[in-house]
Amino acid sequence: MNRKEFSNKVYEIVKDIPCGNVATYGMIAFLCGYPRHSRMVGQALHHVPDFLNIPCHRVVNVQGRLVPGWTGQKQLLVNEGIRFKENGCVDLKKYLWQVNSGIV
């Protein structure tokens, strides 16, 4: 799979994350079939064309941390009903997307 195919697969998966849920970079890499490529997921999301309207704000790291420097991400998640722990991370026990095995 080349980089463009990988990115397109990432975009298709991220589009399926329901409002009010988050996924981790590692989850998305796993669902793409490349579980050790979570950094590539981040790169794909960093370069997503605006016209695709991908809900990138629903992707966090494995601790529930937000993207450094993206000040609007927290507000987008709050608007969807996601609440944060005292340390500023998303509570993954509560908001992590429960992927059905047949989706991807």
Q: Which of 26, 28, 23 is nearest to 8 (CA)?
A: 28
Options 3.30.530.20, 1.20.140.10, 1.10.10.10, 3.90.1200.10; CATH for 3-95 is: 1.10.10.10
Please return the burial class of 10, using the count of CB atoms within 10 Å of its CB with bins 0-12, 13-18 and 19+.
Answer: buried
- In the structure encoding, which two tokens stand for residue 51, read together? 């016209």
- Residue 7, classified by CB atoms within 10 Å of its CB into exposed (0-12), middle (13-18) or buried (19+), is buried
Using CA atoms, how far apart are residues 24 and 98, in angstroms rounded to an integer?
Answer: 11
What pLDDT digit, counting tens, does each position of 40-85 carry? 999 999 999 989 999 999 999 999 999 999 989 999 999 999 999 9
Quick one: which of 104, 103, 102, 78 has its CA closest to 90? Answer: 78
What local confidence, expressed as pLDDT, does residue 102 receive? 47
Q: Where are the domains of the chain?
A: 3-95
Q: What is the pLDDT of residue 99?
A: 87
Q: What is the pTM of this model?
A: 0.91
